[in-house]
Amino acid sequence: MSVRILALVGSLRAGSHNRQLAETAVKLAPEGVEIQIHEGLADIPFYNEDIDVEGAVPEAAAKLRAATAAADALLLFSPEYNGTMPGVLKNAIDWLSRPYGVGAIGGKPVAVVGTAFGQYGGVWAHDDARKSVGIAGGTVVEDIKLAIPGSVTRFAEVHPENDAEVTGQLNDVLARLVKEAGAAKA
């Protein structure tokens, strides 16, 4: 069975630890699993029904919707900004939730993970993202949780792919998400 997972990274920063975590997931993908990191979240305009018109949807939003429609599951990587998820991630969820009732995210298994500087690793942001995704129509896989604290110090000199604890946890996340995606396809 082939499984396609679309990864959305909520940090736009060039040296983002969440981006590094997503890149690590790509490398750890088991055989038969393709993980694609979606590029272009920064290019998507803020959601506005006035510009979400059939045949005239902004190109970056249309690409996100198409990539999501082609995926079997989504894996969101979120830092924590001021106690919640970054606006770029919330905006992506908003675009994916529309058109109402038939958005691209509808029924897709979704997991939220990530790393943040704080002592809890971004759990508030992850909880908010799960809530938003669930309301948007995604099937949140509640038991998949990975919040890595102290990102600035933990990954100062070690890339996540070289942290055995992180790769072990990320492997578990991927195995569970692949299982959910397979069940959703059946």
User: What is the tens place of the pLDDT at every residue in 40-57?
Assistant: 999 999 999 999 999 999
Backbone angles phi, psi at 41, to 5 degrees: -60, -30
Cα–Cα distance between 129 and 147 in angstroms, integer?
13
pLDDT tens-digit series, residues 118-145: 999 999 999 999 999 999 999 999 999 9
Cα–Cα distance between 79 and 73 in angstroms, integer?
20
Residue 105 in this model has a pLDDT that exceeds 70: yes
pLDDT score of 1: 66
Given a contact cutoff of 8 angstroms between Cβ atoms, the answer to whether 46 and 140 are in contact is no
Give Cβ neighbours of residue 36 (< 8 Å, ≥ 6 apart): 4, 5, 6, 7, 26, 67, 71
In three-state form (DSSP H/G/I as H, E/B as E, the rest C), the secondary structure along 40-84 is CHHHCCCCCCCCCCCCCCCHHHHHHHHHHHHCCEEEEECCCECCE
- Domains with residue ranges and CATH for the chain: 3-185 (3.40.50.360)
